[in-house]
Amino acid sequence: MLEGKTYLITGIADEHSLAMYTAREIIKNGGKVVCTGLGVSKHHSDLSDKAKAFLNQNYEDFKQSVQKELGDSHTAILDVTIDANIESFAQELADKNIKLDGFLHAIAMDKTIRKKEVKPLIDVTLQEFCDTMDVSAYSLISVTRHLIEKNVLQKGASICSLSYIAAAKVTFHPYRNISIAKAALERITVELADELGRKHQMRCNAVRFSPFMGSKAGNATLRPEDVETSNRMSPLGNARPEDLAFEIVHLFRPESRITGEIRHVDGGYHITG
Ligand SMILES: NC(=O)c1ccc[n+]([C@@H]2O[C@H](COP(=O)([O-])OP(=O)(O)OC[C@H]3O[C@@H](n4cnc5c(N)ncnc54)[C@H](O)[C@@H]3O)[C@@H](O)[C@H]2O)c1
């Protein structure tokens, strides 16, 4: 189905990342992947020793899991908060003549959730608000722009991002700050679908997925009872990461005319929750 196609997969932290499930499914369907992980790039400056150690460990885990799960797929460092890093990454792909048929945005960060405790929205600072927006929403625009400017993202490409029902509703697990960023991510998806569809025949969709504790982000934020609650409330039970990967590959199919959709892969939670 994806024979001869190449997709950028962002947001792999390790083999349990939702993005990794998608990368595996792309390869299973005959496609190729380019993977990016968070690490120390030449554009980082003034990092504390602690931050440097964290980023180095993150990149090591990323590289090892890509090697183990995806063989010799192309890997690169990408920190979406640094515009110069996004630009040089896009330039690197252009220099290597790597053309992309789409990409998965699977990036989110919210420092107002700590040890599964969510800071009340009323206490969220402007800096915390903007940092979460930057990483989790605006990055969809900036990564897309640089890939188009360097002529890496091809006409007809398909872009997909990962969202959550909390973008629209207060749920059993109120996420507050990140929910607002997810709402922005979804709105960006719709606006880009219109702009890029008309200009480049590109598609842009988002998928709201069930709570999943297997990944680092999921494990840091969710409690087992949250996952049980949504499992009980979903007619089909919680969707699995494999279900998500299957749907993303469907949205990546070159012949599809689906765009501007906010899809649910959540076992039907959205009709009851
Ligand atoms: N786990 C869930 O329950 C769930 C449910 C619905 C949607 N999602 C979304 O799926 C996506 C992937 O999350 P996951 O659950 O696989 O967790 P994960 O921890 O495996 O992935 C999150 C990724 O974001 C990356 N990231 C954070 N800051 C970054 C930055 N500045 N630059 C580049 N990358 C950065 C991390 O390195 C990590 O790879 C996120 O957008 C998340 O909100 C998760």
Structure tokens at 131: 């940092």
- Closest by CA position to 137, among listed 201, 196, 192: 192
pLDDT tier at 249 (50, 70, 90 boundaries)?
A: very high
Helices 139-149 and 177-200 meet at what angle, rounded to 10? Answer: 30
Residue 187 has pLDDT above 90, yes or no: yes
Q: Taking 80 as the threshold, does the pLDDT of residue 273 lie above it?
A: no
- Answer for the pair 33, 73: CB distance below 8 angstroms, yes or no: yes
**81 C-beta closer than 6 A to ligand 1:** yes
For the segment 20-79, what is each residue's pLDDT rounded down to a tens digit? 999 999 999 999 999 999 999 999 998 999 999 999 999 999 999 999 999 999 999 999
59 touches ligand 1 (CB under 6 Å): no
Best residue among 8, 43, 107 to mutate for probing ligand 1's pocket (most ligand atoms within 8 Å of CB) is: 107
Closest alpha carbon to 1 in 29, 39, 34, 38:
29
Give the Å distance between the CA of 11 and the centre of ligand 1: 6
Residue 115: predicted pLDDT:
86
Is the CB of 12 within 6 Å of ligand 1?
Answer: yes
Nearest residue (CA) to ligand 1, atom 33: 79
Can you tell me which residue has the tokens 């504790």?
213
For range 151-167, the mean pLDDT: 97
Q: 122 CA to middle of ligand 1, Å?
A: 24
Structural domain boundaries of the chain?
A: 6-272
Pocket test for ligand 1, best of 65, 138, 162 (most atoms within 8 A of CB): 162
Q: What are phi and psi of 3, to 5 degrees?
A: -55, 130
Instruction: State residue 229's pLDDT score.
Output: 96
The Cα–Cα gap between 248 and 91 comes to: 26
Q: Can you tell me which atom of ligand 1 is nearest the CA of 185?
A: 41
Residue 36 DSSP SS3? strand
Give pLDDT, residue 255.
87
**213: nearest Cα among 197, 199, 194, 226:** 226
Average pLDDT rounded to a whole number, residues 105-109: 98
On the question of pLDDT at 156 being above 80, the answer is: yes
Class of domain 6-272: alpha beta
